[in-house]
Chain A
Amino acid sequence: MRGRGGKEKLFSDRNINLQVRLCCPRRNNRTTQEPTFQYDFPWLASFRVPALPPGVVLGEQPLPPGVPSGSGLEAGPKAASPFYPGCSGGGGDCEARGPSWSWLTRTCGRHTQTWPSHSPKPRSSLGQRRCPPQPGAGPGFPPRSPPLRPAQRWVICSSAAVTSSRCRGSAVPWFLPLGGMEFAELIKTPRVDNVVLHRPFYPAVEGTLCLTGHHLILSSRQDNTEELWLLHSNIDAIDKRFVGSLGTVIIKCKDFRIIQLDIPGMEECLNIASSIEALSTLDSITLMYPFFYRPMFEVVEDGWHSFLPEQEFELYSSATSEWRLSYVNKEFAVCPSYPPIVVVPKSIDDEALRKVATFRHGGRFPVLSYYHKKNGMVIMRSGQPLSGTNGRRCKEDEKLINATLRAGKRGYIIDTRSLNVAQQARAKGGGFEQEAHYPQWRRIHKSIERYHILQESLIKLVEACNDQTHNMDRWLSKLEASNWLTHIKEILTTACLAAQCIDREGASILIHGTEGTDSTLQVTSLAQIILEPRSRTIRGFEALIEREWLQAGHPFQQRCAQSAYCNIKQKWEAPVFLLFLDCVWQILRQFPCSFEFNENFLIMLFEHAYASQFGTFLGNNESERCKLKLQQKTMSLWSWVNRPSELSKFTNPLFEANALVIWPSVAPQSLQLWEGIFLRWNRSSRYLDEAYEEMVNIIEYNKELQAKVNILRRQLAELETEGGPQESP
């Protein structure tokens, strides 16, 4: 899928799947030095035919005619177009935008009340209106490059195909539609000519529309123009309209982008629309793109093995001996949503764990989430206790959580539901810990919303952001009515409370809601961001996602099935993960130097959670992922991200390791709308991107100068020591 608007020209005469990204000239100079370049053209070194995915049929490809040749391979390096369209240099950098540069302009008055710190949306409109279109930017240069670029990797067929297309002397947009048997019948019309594409910020482009098993591709088949590649799984909803025989399909993506395709011919239009609809709502996970995607980059490190629970545990085990790894859930029998390996108090044996599991919702017995090395306090998480109306108790459960307390100490239980909701849950067999049975624990109720309330909030917010009526009052009241920032505030407040219990009160905590798979995870993971410097690094944050979201059993498949545009009401969708990312962004904005990653990293995670070529976010829990054999059949997101070329785009240039606990402000005055996500397609971020890039350059230059200074100082010291003895005699 094109994460952020395709800008690459995909093919010309000689290269089959060479995607030439067009950069604006200003940004080219850096891209040429891109070290990943050598991976970019694998067939140049050794032409390999990658294994074809199962079910892919090689056959006669549609060969659209007539594109002038001569801008092919040689254009690649010159035009500074790394193979990953937009992956490096200009695109990558221009993608990098964020509030973090703002510290330069904000040397004082960081939180001055004078300037309302929240950004009214009309700023955007002003900005756009103020600037006449910049012809120099090149036609259709998108504001940011798509982060999901490996998705565009296409299957190379054979060298014969290369020659044949060359012999014909036509530069042919030539690709292999990954149309296996499964998809062939769904694609009623694989190709339509003269389709006009409208999308944010760019002039309309006319071209050929192709549907493949997983992508919607629009190519203008001309030099210097870019293409659109859209992963079907990124499509949230589509609308059709007809004016005469001209049909219009409006595609609304899960990343909140809206594009429009004008398709001549009513039948074609209907066919395309129904094909897209069918392909974007495939039932079977195994038909999803990750199972067909073959990476063209060199895998330095297999992401599936990057963050093993054993390794993570070692980080704690050096500091404490009170905890152990338990393999009680090896067959996923005790708790289907837990990973095979969990961390539990050493004094509790597996048999007790089995008993506790029957007392907790979904078998989610209390496990270790975080160990605070500073004072040995811990965060545990679980499902709700199944005390029911008759106040059932479980001695093993009490023993388990009491085992984590130091003598004479009290702990806190943070219930992410209000007391009312928790009491109502008893009627359904759930409940909360009774004071009588847990005398050493104090229970605090916080109210974090779930499910459809969050989903509706997201829908309202995105609708407000897409509303182009320029009226300040309307915008503010819509923003308010969406309640999105209220949810952010609630989650952050609860996370701060948890962190406060650990760091300030010196008390251990247990966090749970109902299932312990949504708000619980938001709170435990945010508390760790606040408390632990490691989770503010890139690898640490990845480990946190792996541990607290993927292994802890957040049902990504259910929650991220639909996004803000879907009309069909389904019960399980909720932007829980997006809210978490938004909260992280709020903290990042308040502490711009304490995070190793930047805003783009969070945006990238958001996109991949909803639609991806990687298998990381597939499935609802570890047990499902095991059954799907994701490790064998798909590529991990971390394998791609953790390569130096990608990491450079996600690294925050302002990062300085900060070993302290960071306490974010949760006052509504301090919370802002995450423009990088919600206004991304409504206003161009070009000027902010350029400013960010400039800031990166300044910081790099500064580092170079620092290094020079150090060398000179050393030389001076050497000269002085050499000169010293000579002078003395």
Chain B
Amino acid sequence: MEHIRTTKVEQVKLLDRFSTNNKSLTGTLYLTATHLLFIDSHQKETWILHHHIASVEKLALTTSGCPLVIQCKNFRIVHFIVPRERDCHDIYNSLLQLSKQAKYEDLYAFSYNPKQNDSERLQGWQLIDLAEEYKRMGVPNSNWQLSDANREYKICETYPRELYVPRIASKPIIVGSSKFRSKGRFPVLSYYHQDKEAAICRCSQPLSGFSARCLEDEHLLQAISKANPVNRYMYVMDTRPKHRMQSWWDTQKDIGRIIVRISSKIWSDERITESDEKKRLNAMANRAAGKGYENEDNYSNIRFQFVGIENIHVMRSSLQKLLEVNGTKGLSVNDFYSGLESSGWLRHIKAVMDAAIFLAKAIMVENASVLVHCSDGWDRTSQVCSLGSLLLDSYYRTVKGFMVLIEKDWIAFGHKFSERCGHLDGDPKEVSPVFTQFLECVWHLTEQFPQAFEFNEAFLLQIHEHIHSCQFGNFLGNCQKEREELKKLSNAKISKQMISLPRSYYIQFIRNPRL
């Protein structure tokens, strides 16, 4: 509250973005602790949640007043004209403060009171039970079991407590493997296809440096492969583009070259030839290859597959470019398309879809289990695993199922919602539209298979609003552990809900349950 200086400004104009001749509505602007509210002369209300504000901009003063442009995280752009510059400045400063909170306690979810009693709130938290979901998939079974290794978040902080692993994988193997994997994110089950007995597993990249082996990790992968009785081999999908790996390689080679040079000087071996240098370099590079992705020699019956999904920084700037192109008025068709192309957004969407299709095909057609990883295993891995499961299992295309899918592959497995959505005033480089891309991929599927989904576009948009709104507890925090702490912090006052719309708004009427 201390940030709010002016709570009410009259005679504010709201420009109509859809009219061509800059029509505007005049009304009153109210600033509350959580929302910016505009009520026009027809009593129509425009609510903007502070958490939805991505940026506020104060433009140069004009004759009619001081323009204030607010860009929202749901891609809405609101253009106000405040008659007095002083008011505008006050509001501008308040919004700057209010839209970027420093502490979780200041987020909307902590003050939001949806008028529900404790039991209703508890119901909200228990609505989605992942143990139930794994049971639906058919695990635990003779090949897969629940592991209590991470019960106290001891092995991996960013994983949930309950993890499913192959029955033959013992605890030492798991622990050993987790040390070999970045952030301790060892291979675990994400989705089990009951008919094909094949599994989608996920993990993070191996960390081995120059000693490129970890026997426990190799054992764990063997165990995953053996947990599929139908197929001898399994896939390891690295969702990172190969050229990125290549540039990493190149740096390794450069280091290697220096080492070779130095060593040749040390040994004062003048006769070292160019070809010798190349031989040594290759050997070094091969060893170096142990980091970043698995050395194929050490893993038998494993097929490696690279799919090129770019990293969060590329995605962030791509979205930025896309929004710029989409927001520009009076573009020519050619400018629009070249802008669309250079933003690369659709290319990235296609890369994610391609990866998910590869995954689904590996399971449906080849009966092979697939292990998916990227760098940390919480961005691209979540995209590919969840989209792949959506393609494979019609349950995930229902309203409930889709929420379960998000809960399982995104929330539980530690997609860093708070950092990626910029809930708090943090590192802007951690913000990235990874989850937005996932929703868009689903949207593309709903367009192609309208009857296959129980929900419609409104449902996806609503979820997209709520990942940024911080209204409910679902998407707060960066992992399960953090979320539990937050819940304690709020005395369990946060309510949990993914959708705040009446069901009739988001139900697809033309659904065909057989699809």
Report which A residues bind B (CB closer than 8 A): 101-102, 104-109, 111-116, 118-120, 122-124, 126-127, 129-130, 132, 470, 472-473, 476-477, 479-480, 483, 485-486, 488-489, 667-669, 671, 687-688, 690-691, 694-695, 698
Contacts and interface: CB of A to CB of B under 8 A. Distances in A.
13 contacts: A102-B450, A105-B450, A116-B340, A123-B444, A130-B357, A476-B337, A480-B333, A483-B334, A485-B333, A667-B331, A668-B335, A668-B336, A691-B450
B509 A104 contact: yes
B341 A476 contact: yes
A488 B336 CA distance: 14
B450 A687 contact: yes
B505 interface: yes
B430 to A, nearest CB: 21
B450 A101 contact: yes
Q: Which of A109, A115, A669 has the most CB of B within 10 A?
A: A115
A691 B341 contact: no
B456 A112 contact: no
Given A476-B340, A489-B333, A668-B331, 19 more contacts: A101-B450, A107-B505, A108-B505, A113-B323, A113-B327, A114-B464, A116-B326, A120-B346, A120-B349, A122-B350, A126-B357, A132-B364, A470-B350, A472-B346, A473-B344, A667-B329, A668-B335, A690-B451, A695-B509
A473 B351 CA distance: 12
Interface in B82-137: none
Contacts of A113: 75, 323, 326-327
Interface in B340-357: 340-341, 344-347, 349-350, 353-354, 357
Contact of B458 (A109, A115, A129, A472): A109
A671 B447 contact: no
B334 A123 contact: no
Contacts of B334: 480, 483, 486
Contacts of B444: 123, 126
A694 to B, nearest CB: 4
B78 to A, nearest CB: 14
B512 interface: yes
Interface in B154-188: none
Contacts, number: 143
Contact of A473 (B330, B331, B347): B347
B371 interface: no
Contacts of B510: 101, 104, 691, 694-695, 698
B515 to A, nearest CB: 8
B373 to A, nearest CB: 23
Nearest to B391: A130
Contact of A669 (B326, B349, B440): B326
A130 B364 CA distance: 10
B350 A120 contact: yes
B480 interface: no
Main secondary structure of the interface of A (DSSP, over half): helix
B74 interface: yes
Contacts of B464: 114
B354 to A, nearest CB: 8
Nearest to A99: B447
Contact of B333 (A132, A472, A668): A668
A687 B458 contact: no
Contacts of A691: 450-451, 510, 512
Given A107-B456, A667-B329, A115 B451 contact: no
Q: Which of A102, A111, A114, A122 has the most CB of B within 10 A?
A: A114
Contacts of B300: none
A63 B391 CA distance: 50
Main secondary structure of the interface of B (DSSP, over half): helix
A727 to B, nearest CB: 39
A252 B40 CA distance: 59
A667 B19 CA distance: 12
Q: Which of B350, B357, B449 has the most CB of A within 10 A?
A: B350
B446 interface: yes
Contacts of A109: 457-458, 461
Given A105-B446, A127-B449, A472-B347, A480 B341 contact: yes
Interface residues of B, number: 56
A291 to B, nearest CB: 42
Given A691-B450, A691-B451, A115 B443 contact: yes
Nearest to A476: B341
Interface string B59-89: 0000000000000001100000000000000
B43 interface: no
A470 B333 CA distance: 22
A108 B337 contact: no
B508 interface: yes
Contacts of B491: none
A106 B444 CA distance: 13
Nearest to A485: B333
* CB-CB nearest 7 A-B residue pairs: A480-B337, A668-B336, A691-B450, A476-B341, A113-B326, A105-B456, A472-B347
Nearest to B433: A114
A687 B450 CA distance: 7
A126 B353 contact: yes
A126 B361 CA distance: 12
A575 to B, nearest CB: 17
Contacts of B391: 130
A477 B448 CA distance: 23
A108 B450 contact: no
B264 interface: no
Nearest to B444: A123
B301 interface: no
A118 B338 CA distance: 13
B451 A687 contact: yes
B508 A104 contact: yes
A111 B334 CA distance: 20
Contact of A107 (B357, B452, B458): B458
A690 B511 CA distance: 10
B285 interface: no
Nearest to A663: B20
B70 to A, nearest CB: 15
A473 B341 contact: yes
Nearest to B508: A105
A449 to B, nearest CB: 13
Contacts of A667: 329-331
B345 A687 contact: no
A477 B461 CA distance: 29
B322 interface: yes
A116 B74 contact: no
B315 to A, nearest CB: 14
Contacts of B322: 116
Q: Which of B74, B450, B464 has the most CB of A within 10 A?
A: B450
B332 interface: yes
Given A113-B326, A480-B337, A105 B457 contact: yes
B360 interface: yes
Nearest to A114: B75
Contacts of B333: 480, 483, 485-486, 488-489, 668, 671
Q: Which of A124, A470, A473, A695 has the most CB of B within 10 A?
A: A473
Nearest to B18: A111
A105 B335 CA distance: 29
B461 A112 contact: yes
Contacts of A694: 451, 510, 512
A341 B439 CA distance: 58
A120 B444 CA distance: 10
Q: Which of A119, A127, A669, A671 has the most CB of B within 10 A?
A: A669
A116 B345 contact: yes
